[in-house]
């Protein structure tokens, strides 16, 4: 049966084309909606899927095990051990600031006074000394320790040359500061070549020839004994 279109036949053909375009547009819109819906469902499923936990060893729950697990999770690498010890260099011996300041005000001739140091030391061992005109009571008090030692010089490890210079500077500094009683540790000299206590003898001989020295004797047993000498100086 043939359909009859009222009116103009050209208008009928246009209406059919428009209808076909609308149907195609509707189909495309439905496909886009279906694709968007599927994408939304896939995203929802992915969001609901739990993330896998780190593959950690099954360790007992101790503090050390928890620490190790955290280090593994953070990919912390241990520091390589070294067989070399970190040794600190020894610090230089401190120099008393007071001594430096005092020596700066001492005349040079006093700092370099080495009275009797280079004299012959084969004159016997001077155990004690008392200058002429000084009462014997002075040496007795010195031996009993009634004079308090105010400064000490240790000559261990020194050569005869360095010991001579240290002794001269030490006595000059003590005189400048008004110190009366000093102690000088010279050692017993048991390890000296030939068994002769060279520095010990030189120290005592030099002290006996210094005008500022009134008396000296062996230190007490607790203060060095025969390895040290206690010296009484003139008052300034």
Helix (H, G, I), strand (E, B) or coil at 116: coil
Position 120 scores a pLDDT of 47
Position 76 scores a pLDDT of 65
Position 141 scores a pLDDT of 93
Position 178 scores a pLDDT of 92
Q: Is the CB of residue 184 less than 8 Å from the CB of residue 226?
A: no
Place of tokens 């503090």: 63
Q: What does the CA dihedral 47, 48, 54, 60 come to, rounded to 10 degrees? A: 150
**How confident is the prediction along the chain (236 residues), in pLDDT tens digits per residue?**
444 445 555 555 556 667 767 777 777 778 887 777 777 777 777 767 666 665 655 555 677 777 777 777 766 666 766 666 666 766 666 656 655 565 555 555 444 555 554 554 444 467 899 999 999 999 999 999 999 999 999 999 898 899 999 999 999 999 999 999 999 999 887 777 777 888 899 999 999 999 999 999 999 988 889 999 999 999 87
Q: What does the CA dihedral 116, 96, 229, 105 come to, rounded to 10 degrees? A: 40
């Amino acid at each position: 049966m043939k359909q009859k279109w009222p009116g103009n036949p050209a208008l009928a053909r246009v209406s059919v084309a428009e209808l076909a375009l609308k149907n195609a547009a509707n189909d495309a819109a439905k496909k886009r909606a279906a694709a968007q819906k599927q994408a939304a469902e896939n995203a929802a499923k992915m969001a609901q899927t739990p993330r896998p936990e780190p593959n950690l060893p099954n360790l007992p729950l101790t503090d050390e095990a928890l620490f190790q697990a955290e280090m593994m999770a953070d990919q912390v690498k241990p520091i390589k051990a070294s067989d070399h010890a970190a040794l600190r260099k020894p610090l230089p011996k401190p120099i008393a600031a007071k001594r430096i300041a005092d020596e700066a005000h001492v005349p040079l001739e006093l700092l370099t006074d080495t009275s009797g140091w280079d004299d012959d030391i084969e004159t016997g061992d001077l155990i004690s000394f008392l200058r002429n005109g000084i009462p014997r009571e002075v040496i007795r008090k010195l031996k009993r320790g009634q004079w308090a030692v105010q400064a000490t010089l240790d000559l261990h490890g020194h050569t005869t040359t360095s010991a001579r210079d240290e002794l001269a500077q030490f006595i000059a500094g003590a005189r400048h500061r008004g110190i009366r009683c000093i102690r000088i540790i010279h050692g017993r000299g048991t390890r000296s070549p030939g068994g002769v206590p060279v520095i010990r003898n030189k120290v005592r001989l030099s002290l006996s020839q210094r005008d500022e020295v009134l008396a000296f004797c062996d230190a007490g047993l607790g203060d060095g004994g025969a390895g040290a000498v206690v010296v009484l100086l003139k008052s300034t």
